[in-house]
Amino acid sequence: MYKKTTLKNGLRVVVVPLPSSQTAAVLALTGAGAKHETKEDNGISHFLEHMIFNGSKKRPNKKDIAETMEKVGGIFNAFTGYDCTGYWAKTRNENFELALDFIADIFLNPLLPEKEIEKERKVITEEFNMCMDNPQILVEDFWSKLLYGDCPAGRLILGSKESIAAINRKKLVDYKEKKYSPSNTVVCIAGGVGEEEALAKVQEYFGSFEEREPCQKEKVLDSQDKPMVLLRQKKTDQAHMFLGVRAFNVFDGRKYALKLLSVILGKGMSSRMFMNVREKLGLSYYLSTECLLDPDAGYLATRIGLDNSRIEEGISAILKEYKIISREKVENEELKKAKEIIKGRSVMALESSDALASFCAEQELFEGEILTPEQLFAKIDNVTAEEILAVAQDIFKPEKLNLALVGPFEKEEKFINLLNNF
């Protein structure tokens, strides 16, 4: 059970009491991320996230920030995505108010000190270099670029070296003032804290958050009429790829069938991809199939790392599984297993107060409503084999196929031909 309240300034507050929990998590999730950037300021959402930990009104330096939660044994961090940025802290119940005060302070009153910007720029540049050197990370970035091209959804969350170098304090301040607004933010409290106390404290600490114009973003370019390949030539001992299709957004009623489809294909050691691609063929160490449902786009893809000499065999093996599942209905036992995987793993994950805070806050921010785990499971249980087959037949078509590949390859033509022969 949870309680949702909208404050006078438009801020949405979600409280999820867990009487048996000994921890409390505080998450401030705002709907401003990489999709809300221009090409010139690409990476500014992530840069701002870093800078917010460089000092605030109550905690004017990095050490003050770092020690606030750690001196009581708590943890804290932040993350930047394409559609949002989040700041969170987790601690024992008795330190709940300290965690809330901490998150409100860094979120509402960051100093963004000029002297720290250049240092943080170097840190972020090293993060960028790390990602560029890691083909397993790089291929995921190339997957977004392949799907969405030269629009915010297709650019790196980190930005480019050029855009990172161009960010200054004025741009950071302007961006935060324009993009961070109460009506576009959800504060979620989950754990061993009472509803009334939590709501009153959020009102106290976030009541001064002034409303601004709604945060806007560029429309995602999500159209395709032929198979596409994006190749990043890189000397590697192992090729890394994303092979998949465009799907639909989080508001589409078929999303539950899509989630089950991805589980059947590649979630767990008994999934089709694991058994047929890894175990039977010995093609890879890691592989999985996953689906992503954003407010304005979505996809299903299989990610895999395999020997450079077996790349064509790997592509063919994955496409074979896509073809089979789009032509034959899933058997009842396999469908039942997939449903139990979603329910069981969700329950285990949501035993954590911080995971539960994210679960509720993201639903509220992106969809405007929160389904409890029980309500979500009911929708999963209602999905039929016929619905899964219909989704598979709709998405697994040659003109919707995409391949992002990192490895020592020079030409895309042979990969295009493999997709065309699907």
pLDDT at residue 55 in the model: 97
- With bands split at pLDDT 50, 70 and 90, how would you rate the model's confidence at 122? very high
Whether 223 has a pLDDT exceeding 90, the answer reads: no
- With bands split at pLDDT 50, 70 and 90, how would you rate the model's confidence at 215? confident
Whether 363 has a pLDDT exceeding 90, the answer reads: yes
- Strand-pair category, 3-6 with 12-17: antiparallel
Whether 219 has a pLDDT exceeding 80, the answer reads: yes
Q: Which residues pair with 17 in a beta bridge?
A: 191
Rounded average pLDDT over 296-310? 96
- CA distance linking residue 359 with residue 372, whole number of Å: 9
- CA distance linking residue 323 with residue 118, whole number of Å: 51
Mean pLDDT score of the chain: 96
Q: Which tokens is 50 given?
A: 């870093």
Contact 269, 263 (CB under 8 A): no
Q: What share of the chain is helix, strand, coil (3-state, %, to 5)?
A: 50, 20, 30
Same fold across 3-206 and 228-420: yes
Over residues 349-359, the pLDDT tens digits come to 999 999 999 99
The CA-based dihedral angle spanning residues 113, 119, 120, 121, taken in that order and rounded to the nearest 10 degrees: 120
The position carrying tokens 């909208």 is 6
Whether 242 has a pLDDT exceeding 90, the answer reads: yes
Of all residues in the chain, the percent with pLDDT exceeding 70 is: 100
Over residues 134-145, the pLDDT tens digits come to 999 999 999 999
| Beta strand extents in 220-352 (DSSP E only) | 228-233, 238-246, 284-293, 298-307
Over residues 28-55, the pLDDT tens digits come to 999 999 999 999 999 999 999 999 999 9
The CA-based dihedral angle spanning residues 180, 50, 48, 355, taken in that order and rounded to the nearest 10 degrees: -30
Q: Alpha carbon of 130 to those of 124, 138, 145, 253: distances in Å?
A: 10, 9, 18, 38
Whether 163 has a pLDDT exceeding 90, the answer reads: yes
Indicate if the alpha-carbon torsion angle 261, 262, 267, 270 is positive or negative: positive
pLDDT at residue 218 in the model: 85
Q: Which stretches of 109-254 are DSSP H helices?
A: 114-133, 135-148, 161-166, 169-179, 195-206
- With bands split at pLDDT 50, 70 and 90, how would you rate the model's confidence at 282? very high
Query: Domain limits of the chain?
Result: 3-206, 228-420
Amino acid at 382: N
Q: 3-206 adopts what CATH topology?
A: Cytochrome Bc1 Complex; Chain A, domain 1 (3.30.830)
Q: 228-420 adopts what CATH topology?
A: Cytochrome Bc1 Complex; Chain A, domain 1 (3.30.830)
Rounded to a whole number of angstroms, the distance between the first and last alpha carbons of the chain is 46
Q: Which tokens is 243 given?
A: 């092979």
pLDDT at residue 217 in the model: 85
- With bands split at pLDDT 50, 70 and 90, how would you rate the model's confidence at 147? very high
In this structure, the number of other CB atoms found within 10 A of the CB of residue 291 comes to 23
Rounded average pLDDT over 147-166? 95
On the 0-12 / 13-18 / 19+ scale of CB atoms within 10 A, 145 is middle
pLDDT at residue 127 in the model: 97
